[in-house]
Amino acid sequence: MPATTHPTPETASFNVEALRADFPALAQDVYEDTPLAYLDNAATSQKPTPVIERLDRFYRDENSNVHRGVHRLSQDATEEYEEARKSLARFLNAPDPDQIIFTRGTTEGLNLVSSTFGRMAVEEGDEILLTEMEHHSNIVPWQMLAEQVGASIEVLPVTDRGELRMDLLPGMLTDDTALMAISHVSNTLGTINPMEDIIDVAHAEDVPVVVDGAQSAPHLPVDVQALDADFFVFSGHKMFGPTGIGVCFGKREHLEAMPPYQGGGDMIDRVSFEETTYDDLPHKFEAGTPNIADAIGLGTAAEYIMDLDWDAVQAHEEAVLEYATEQLEAVEGVRIVGTAPDKTSVLSFVFDDIHPYDAGTVLDREGVAVRTGHHCTQPLLERYGLPGTIRASFAAYNTREDVDHLIDGLQKVRHMFG
């Protein structure tokens, strides 16, 4: 989207202060009298009061195991857990809540898909197509699978600006390509990949696509049916939900054909020592006592997000990113890494002559929480010849004041090391 169409936060119909008031962690001082500018949202977001209170209420009043008890509490917990699944189905516009599998997060979702669907779809001599911007979570499980079955990994490169080389995609989808796994939004560059186009091109060659939605679920309205994604996985903790919970959405025909991921209680239909038959979706993929409280908390987070005015939130996030980009470009010696025209919420940058870790340490003392390092994308940073970057990542509750706080901190960094 061209920069000129971005409304400023002042004109957008979005009350950021009211939103901030929902997030108690944002109001604190870190160190003495040093207010917090929390700019590490790509790592994990803060949690709003409704989510915190929902977890509290579950453990105070409702705690019980699900799917097994005849008693009142267990029935209530089961109902709440299944209601959360429905909220997540609405959040993704999934056709059926049965296609929502609760996982520990994106990493577990990708491991689930690689070790079940992957084992079915990928054979010796096949190729698994990834991109150069993938998070380690969307590389290592596929490498493990490739080693197990004798397949190879192919990598779609990125440009200097951090866009995918879409021109190379059709040629890289060969008769041997068994599947493609790709992030919707890059956690290091902020690039929004043209996912609908990518999936169209892949499907034209009958290649299923696994989407890592860890960074898109918190920032873009996601519609798995419009995308036609075969799988879409994400983590709750980056989208105002609890840690230790996430979602793996899959197309019904895949989920039904796939073998279970883990064996145990809750995923069976009948067990004998001779043979076990498995339960229906989604329980086939949820062995053992699930993370009940956090699933319910994630349902609350999804409802909270769906209640926001998305157009206004997105306009606000775009305006803050644009402002931060302009301000950062004006800091002496700073170079932004990732300048694709279609970006969201992530600003990675380096100083010519200052190590990211040194900068991060000074920023921390100024109350500015950023991440430094390789952001679990070592191959990508190698592509850019960098050991790491400083990454400021934004959420809907961040403001221009947070950006100013960052820029003041960077001026201090310049002063100390320059």
Tell me which residues are annotated as active site. 376
Report if residue 314 touches ligand PMP, rule: CB under 6 A: no
Q: Which is nearer to ligand PMP, 90 or 104 (CB)?
A: 104
Which residue, chain included where needed, has tokens 């001026």?
Answer: 411
Selected binder of ligand PMP within 137, 339, 345, 399 (CB under 6 A): 137
Upper half-sphere CA count for residue 265 (Cβ side, 13 Å)? 7
Mask of contacts with ligand PMP, 25-44, x by CB under 6 A? Answer: -----------------x--
Report if residue 107 touches ligand PMP, rule: CB under 6 A: yes
Both tokens of residue 136?
A: 């380690």
Q: Which is nearer to ligand PMP, 16 or 188 (CB)?
A: 188
Q: Which is nearer to ligand PMP, 87 or 187 (CB)?
A: 187
Dihedrals phi, psi of 131, to nearest 5 degrees: -125, 165
How many residues touch ligand PMP under the rule CB under 6 A: the total is 14
Mask of contacts with ligand PMP, 168-207, x by CB under 6 A? Answer: ---------------x---x--------------------
Report if residue 45 touches ligand PMP, rule: CB under 6 A: no
- Single-letter code of the amino acid located at 246: G
Shortest spacing between CB 109 and ligand PMP, in angstroms: 8
Which one of 30-38, 102-110, 192-200, 379-387 is the stretch in contact with ligand PMP (CB under 6 A)?
102-110
Selected binder of ligand PMP within 105, 118, 162, 290 (CB under 6 A): 105
Q: Which is nearer to ligand PMP, 214 or 247 (CB)?
A: 214
Cα dist. 214→108, 134, 182 in Å? Answer: 12, 11, 11
Dihedrals phi, psi of 176, to nearest 5 degrees: -90, -10
Shortest spacing between CB 213 and ligand PMP, in angstroms: 8
Which segments of 242-398 are extended strands (E)? 246-250, 268-271, 276-278, 334-337, 346-351, 368-369, 371-373, 389-393
d(CA 244, CA 224): 23
Shortest spacing between CB 128 and ligand PMP, in angstroms: 16
d(CA 205, CA 296): 39
Both tokens of residue 303?
A: 């409802």
Kindly tell me the burial class for residue 43, based on how many C-beta atoms sit within 10 Å of its own C-beta (0-12, 13-18, 19 or more). middle
Report if residue 212 touches ligand PMP, rule: CB under 6 A: yes
Shortest spacing between CB 197 and ligand PMP, in angstroms: 19
Both tokens of residue 11?
A: 């004109």
Q: Is 47 helix (H, G, I), strand (E, B) or coil?
A: coil
Q: Is residue 378 a contact partner of residue 136, using CB atoms and an 8 Å limit?
A: yes
Residue 183 neighbours by CB under 8 Å, 6+ apart:
131, 133, 134, 135, 138, 193, 211, 212, 213, 214, 215, 216
Report if residue 343 touches ligand PMP, rule: CB under 6 A: no
Which one of 32-40, 134-142, 218-226, 357-365 is the stretch in contact with ligand PMP (CB under 6 A)?
134-142
Shortest spacing between CB 411 and ligand PMP, in angstroms: 29
Q: Nearest 5°: CA angle at 285, between 279 and 287? A: 85
Q: Which is nearer to ligand PMP, 107 or 314 (CB)?
A: 107
Report if residue 345 touches ligand PMP, rule: CB under 6 A: no
Selected binder of ligand PMP within 46, 106, 114, 291 (CB under 6 A): 106
Residues 223-262 within binding reach of ligand PMP (CB under 6 A):
235
Q: Which is nearer to ligand PMP, 339 or 377 (CB)?
A: 377
Q: Which residues bind ligand PMP (CB under 6 A)?
A: 42, 105-107, 135, 137-138, 183, 187, 212, 214-215, 235, 376
